[in-house]
């Protein structure tokens, strides 16, 4: 009898697994299969809301994604109109509320643009999207959620007008849930499983650790000396296409005396095939708040070197700014490149959040730059970003945000924080498991800044802490000096996010790299090369498609 029962149980289990397998195949591979909304919605963050979005609908997963994205676009337009409405009469609002609403307006304009592009793509898409197009849309939908979250954070912490909060927060939370559904459906319809998380397998080594040699110096010399449309580098087979070149110099010897004037002169909405508009910034201290808008694409700013060309400001939260608009230098224009520049926020640790650079520019690159601040120095806000051979100074959460970002061959210098504070190098802000975002730190050197060095052992420094629920940060092949606390990572607030985050370390060196006494959170991992390769420039950023055109050197894999 027992044998018969076991056989029946085994058969039932086999049939159940077989049905599940064929259901998954039908969902993933058959664009014509009609799928009940319940089948898809059970794996979302809010199944009941997903069912509400897809109520009375009947179609394939592709149909559902189109429906959800269309609704997301419609809602984004309504939210943007609400921003315009509130800001039409700013005299009735407090200054902190106005600043928070202005942030939301900018972010909402970006969301409307991103969702318009997404809908155009999914409406025309076949069963399979080209990898680059799929990565573009995945990135845009991830950024939409990040933008809404940034708006929400600003309204909750800065807006002092209850009328504004009550009128916007519920709408904002619903829009975030709707966009989470759109992101989930897109990943299920068009993102192959091996793009969400690549499977274990042999790592290919083509023997070329660097995809490009360092040609930036030759570009700089050619630009400053000749101003050619096509800048030939030391290797004539490689070149950087340039539309125009201008020089900023404080002494009046260039085309402009301010960086903002040079940026204003750049053409609008250029394509990558038009070439870079290069702005050479001569040595000097530029006390400017620079903002590169979304229509200023493919700008390349080249300074005279770290601590020679310096852009500086001191906006901060204590003095009434939001974290988002405290940045000395902010960029959202696609394809931005910054080289040989120091970016500073001099507000100091007592002013708390004070951003030196806020980057929300897709396919942006910083090379041989320095970012100097205390709390919240480098805001890697959204989209795809690459940093190479940069110096980053700070105290609390000094690299934060929700971009897909790789920092390669950079130096991290934790500084002396306020009394009673500890240092956290990163605070990554991923809010949804389907976002393709995270911080990857590869081949870095982490050492105490000059002011912290005498106190190592009395001031704790951690690799990161979870700002948001699905925070994701990875350290790969980096040197960690003795300032890193043995636990490695610090909680944000009790047990928040400790099981949903993804923190990982691979093949690091130095006295602070020992993982024997690391945190025992279920979200922390010591990984192998097969997992680490997912967080390299090639895999994580799809960087082989866009970093080479900058002529910035980079390592494509491990």
At residue 360's C-alpha, the angle toward residues 246 and 83, to 5°, is 110
Can 174 be counted among the known catalytic residues? no
Interaxial angle between packed helices 61-87 and 95-124, expressed in degrees from 0 to 180 and rounded to the nearest 10: 150
Side-by-side strand order, sheet with 284-286: 284-286, 309-313, 342-345, 370-372, 391-394, 411-414, 445-446, 479-480
- CA separation for the pair 415, 35 (Å, rounded): 55
Q: Reduced to 3 states, what is the DSSP secondary structure of residue 488?
A: coil
Looking at 397, 432, 481, 542, which residue is catalytic?
397
Residue 213 phi, psi dihedral angles, 5° rounding? -80, 170
Burial 46-66 (b: 16+ CB within 10 A, else e): beebbbebbeeeebbbbbbbb
- CA separation for the pair 300, 279 (Å, rounded): 6
Q: Cβ-count burial of 507 within 10 angstroms (0-12 exposed, 13-18 middle, 19+ buried)? A: middle
DSSP 76-129: HHHHHHHHHHHHTSGGGS-HHHHHHHHHHHHHHHHHHHHHHHHHHHHHH--SS-
Please give the positions annotated as active site. 397
């Amino acid at each position: 009898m027992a044998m018969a029962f076991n056989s029946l149980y085994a058969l039932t289990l086999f049939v159940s697994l077989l049905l599940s397998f064929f259901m998954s195949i039908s969902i993933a591979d058959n664009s014509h299969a009609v799928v009940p909304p319940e089948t898809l919605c059970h794996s979302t963050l809010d199944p009941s809301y997903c069912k509400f979005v897809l109520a009375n609908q009947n179609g394939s997963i592709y149909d559902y994604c189109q429906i959800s994205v269309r609704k997301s676009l419609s809602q984004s337009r309504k939210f943007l109109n609400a921003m315009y409405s509130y800001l039409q009469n700013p005299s009735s609002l407090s200054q902190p509320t106005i600043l928070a609403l202005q942030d939301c307006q900018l972010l909402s304009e970006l969301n409307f643009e991103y969702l318009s592009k997404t809908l155009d793509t999914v409406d025309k898409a076949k069963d399979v999207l080209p990898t680059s197009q799929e990565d573009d849309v995945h990135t845009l939908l991830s950024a939409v959620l990040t933008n809404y979250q940034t708006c929400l954070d600003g309204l909750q912490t800065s807006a002092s007008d209850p009328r504004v909060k009550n009128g916007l927060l519920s709408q904002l939370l619903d829009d975030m849930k709707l966009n989470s559904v759109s992101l989930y459906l897109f990943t299920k319809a068009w993102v192959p499983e091996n793009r969400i998380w690549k499977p274990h397998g042999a790592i290919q080594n083509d023997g070329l650790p660097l995809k490009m040699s360092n040609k930036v110096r030759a570009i700089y010399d050619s630009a400053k000396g000749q101003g050619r449309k096509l800048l030939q580098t030391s290797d004539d087979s490689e070149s950087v296409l340039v539309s125009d070149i201008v020089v900023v110099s404080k002494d009046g010897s260039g085309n402009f005396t301010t960086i903002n004037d040079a940026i204003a002169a750049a053409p609008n909405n250029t394509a990558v095939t038009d070439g870079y508009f290069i702005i050479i910034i001569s040595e000097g201290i530029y006390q400017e708040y620079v903002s590169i808008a979304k229509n200023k694409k493919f700008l390349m700013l080249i300074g005279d070197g770290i601590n020679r060309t310096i852009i500086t400001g001191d906006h901060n939260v204590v003095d009434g700014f939001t974290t988002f608009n405290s940045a000395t230098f902010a960029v959202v224009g696609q394809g931005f490149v910054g080289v040989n520049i120091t970016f500073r926020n001099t507000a100091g640790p007592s002013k708390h959040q004070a951003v030196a650079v806020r980057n929300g520019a897709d396919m942006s690159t910083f090379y041989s730059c320095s970012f100097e601040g205390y709390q919240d120095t480098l805001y890697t806000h959204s989209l795809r970003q690459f940093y190479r051979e940069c110096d980053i100074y700070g105290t609390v959460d000094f690299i934060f945000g929700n971009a897909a970002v790789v920092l390669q061959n950079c130096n991290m210098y934790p500084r002396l924080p306020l009394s009673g504070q500890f240092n956290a190098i990163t605070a990554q802000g991923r809010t949804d498991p389907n976002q393709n975002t995270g911080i990857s730190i590869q081949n870095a050197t982490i050492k105490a800044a000059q002011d912290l060095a005498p106190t190592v052992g009395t001031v704790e420094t951690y690799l990161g802490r979870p700002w948001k629920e699905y925070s994701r940060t990875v350290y790969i092949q980096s040197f960690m000096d003795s300032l890193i606390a043995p636990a490695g990572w610090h909680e944000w607030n009790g047990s928040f996010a400790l099981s949903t985050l993804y923190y990982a370390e691979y093949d690091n060196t130095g006295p602070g790299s020992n993982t024997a006494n690391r945190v025992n959170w279920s979200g922390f991992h010591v990984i192998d090369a097969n997992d680490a390769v997912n967080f390299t420039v090639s895999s994580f950023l799809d960087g082989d498609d866009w970093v080479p055109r900058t002529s910035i050197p980079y390592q494509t894999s491990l």
